[in-house]
Amino acid sequence: MDIKSIGVIGAGQMGNGIAHVMALAGYDVLLNDINQDALNKAVALIDKNMERQVSRNLISADDKAGAMSRIQTTLELTQLGPSDLIIEAATEREDIKNKIFETLAPHLGEQTILTSNTSSISITRLASRTDRPERFMGFHFMNPVPMMKLVELIRGIATDEETYQSCLAIVERLGKTAASAEDFPAFIVNRILIPMINEACYTLYEGVGNVASIDNAMKLGANHPMGPLELADFIGLDTCLAIMNVLHDGLADTKYRPCPLLTKYVEAGWLGRKTKRGFYDYRGETPVPTR
């Protein structure tokens, strides 16, 4: 189908990035959040990030002006209903996602495709709670969205071919690459990445190395651009823990048991960069390891 309008639910780190790339690709974007402050901050951040792209000659000033004019915001979730495609990028909690789709249901256009940016939750299960499981799939962007080239496309058991092809065409129009994943816990990227981060947490928990030595070892010894604990702070420790719990519950294998230290940091509210403390303390001029 010819997709022209896109609704994005959630104006946080992922939602504003998705709105950014969709608007630049020529789609009309309606960005929703429950908080007006979050919407204002998202639009300001998109403007700032596009201005950076202009300064690097990645896009023109006209490209930016056109894209910004295509982004509208709303506090009313139901206003997204007539969109050709809706991308849910809310908190990584299944009950919240189900409530969002339930609220949208009576307001959806007949043609509307529903997708979720979930990083780990079952697409089949989310789809089963809607009136259109055949027009529902996983549309998982990587963070930061404007920079990262990969999008995971995840079909639920009922997703039809037309829905998949429509989403694949969008990924190609964005200039990104699609990786098709089966609907198993955490899909491809996080099935591999988050257990590695969890193992780094165990390495710290067991005293094998401190934060700095673990991150330096992986950066210099495995040529990773960012150490696993630094990356965990960037992703959000609450998100890492949520994905580990999905893996542990969904695959029933003890190798996916979340590290107790990761759980403790989340309980303390030390969630990484977004709360200024995680495995590093970000309250000063330079990040300082907390262990």
In the chain, domain spans: 5-182, 191-289
CA atoms within 13 A on the CB side of 141: 30
Which residues 6+ apart lie within 8 Å of 225 measured at CB? 219
In words, the CATH class of domain 5-182 is alpha beta
Instruction: Measure the CA–CA gap between 143 and 161, rounded to whole angstroms.
Output: 27
Q: How confident is the model at residue 125 (pLDDT cuts 50, 70, 90)?
A: very high
> What pLDDT does residue 151 have?
98
128 is catalytic: no
Catalytic residue among 88, 152, 166, 198: 152
Q: How confident is the model at residue 92 (pLDDT cuts 50, 70, 90)?
A: confident
Mean pLDDT across the stretch 67-79?
A: 97
Tens of pLDDT along 155-179?
999 999 999 999 999 999 999 999 9
119 is catalytic: yes
CB 6 within 8 A of CB 30: yes
| Length, in residues, of the chain | 291
> What pLDDT does residue 2 have?
87
Tens of pLDDT along 216-263?
999 999 999 999 999 999 999 999 999 999 999 999 999 999 999 999
Supply the CATH classification number for the domain 191-289: 1.10.1040.10
Percent of the chain with pLDDT strictly greater than 90:
97
Catalytic residue among 5, 83, 119, 198: 119
190 is catalytic: yes
Binding site members for NAD(+): 10-15, 33, 92, 97, 119, 143, 274
